[in-house]
Amino acid sequence: MSHLEIISRRPRGKTRPTPLLFVHGAFSHAGIWDVNFLSYFAELGYEAHAVSLRGHGESEGRFRLPWLSLTDYVTDLGDTVRRIGGLPVLIGHSMGGMVVQRYLRTGKARGVVLMASVPPYGLWDSTIGMAFRDPMLAHQLGLLMAFGPAVINIGSIRRAMLSDRVPDSELPRYEPLFQSESSRVVMDMLAFDPFSWLPEPALPVLVLGAADDAFFTAPQVEATARAFGTRATIFPDMAHGMMIEPDWRLVADTIAGWLEGV
C-alpha cells in the first residue's frame, strides 16, 4: 500500500453516515478540494476526505510520476476507500472522474459525482477538439506535463482551469494547486474504449459540467450523462476548475441537494 496524502475535514456535531471522498484531476492534487469544498461539506455534517493520488501532492511516488498508470491511480483509490471506512460517495473531477469510473469495475460506492469528467470512452475526442480550438493551450499543457508549472505562463492556468472572472491578483494563490502529470496516464485515457464499463442502474450518478470548460464541451458532458442514464447539469459562465471558480458554491449546493436523496 502506497503512502498517500489524505486531507480530511470532519463535522463538529452530528456526523452523517455516508463519507465523501474527492478525487482530483490531472495536473493537481488533494489541496484543490481544500480551498472550498471540504469545509463546506464538513459543515453540512459529512466526513469529507480528499486523496492525492501517488505522485501528487504529498503522496509518495513523485520521482516515478511519468511512468505511473491509470491502474496505479485506481489502486490508490481502492486503498483510500478502505482507509476511510464505510461506503462513500465518490466525487471525481476531470481525470479523477475516469479513476472513479475504472474503480467501479470492481469496487463499490454509495453514489458517484462526475465533475467535468473524462467521458467513459476516453480523452481522444476532447484532446483533438482542444488542439483545434486552442492550440496554444494544448502546447502549454504539454509543457506542464513534461516540466511542471514553473515553465508555463500563469495565464495558461487561467485558460485551462479558471474563468475570466477570477482577478489576476488571485492567480498566484492557485499556482501551488497545480503540478506535472504522468504522460503514461494521459496515454491511458487517450485510448478509445468502446466497451467501457457502466455502473449498475441502481447506482446514483450525478454529472456536472461547465459551459466555459476548455477541456470538455457541454455536448461531451451531456454524452457522458446519457451513458450513465441521467441528465447533465451545465453551469453557465464557469470554467473547468469548478471547485475553485467564483461560483463554486452553486456546484457545491447542487451536490448537497443531490446527496439528500442518496
Q: CA 54, CA 6: separation in Å to the nearest integer?
A: 11
pLDDT at 151 over 70: no
Dist. CA 97–CA 103, nearest whole Å: 10
Kindly report which listed range (51-60, 94-103, 188-197, 209-218) carries the lowest average pLDDT score.
Answer: 188-197
What is the pLDDT at residue 194?
A: 52
Confidence tier at 187 by pLDDT (50, 70, 90)? confident
- For the chain, the domain total comes to 1
CATH number at residue 236: 3.40.50.1820
Indicate the pLDDT class of residue 132, thresholds 50, 70 and 90: very low
Which domain, by its residues, includes 152? 5-259
What's the pLDDT tens digit per position in 8-61?
999 998 999 999 999 999 989 999 999 999 999 999 999 999 999 999 999 999
pLDDT of residue 131: 47
Query: Rounded distance, CA 256 to CA 91, Å?
Result: 12
Cβ neighbourhood burial of 135 (10 Å; 0-12, 13-18, 19+): exposed
Q: Is the pLDDT of residue 193 over 70?
A: no
Read off the pLDDT band of 137 (50, 70, 90): low
Is the pLDDT assigned to residue 257 strictly greater than 60? yes
Q: Is the distance from CB of 262 to CB of 18 less than 8 angstroms?
A: yes
**Residue, of 136 and 223, whose pLDDT is higher:** 223
What is the DSSP track for 13-59?
A: SPPPSS-EEEE--TT--THHHHTTHHHHHHHTT--EEEEE-TTSTTS
Compute the mean pLDDT over every residue in the chain, rounded to the nearest whole number: 87
Residue the block writes with cell 457545491: 252
pLDDT at 144 over 60: no
Q: What is the pLDDT of residues 211-245, one digit of tens each?
A: 999 889 999 999 999 989 999 999 999 999 999 99
pLDDT band per the 50, 70, 90 thresholds, residue 78: very high
What average pLDDT does range 190-197 have in this prediction? 59
pLDDT greater at residue 201 or residue 121 = 121
The share of the chain scoring above pLDDT 70, in percent, equals 81
Q: What is the pLDDT of residue 166?
A: 87
Whole-number pLDDT of residue 188: 86
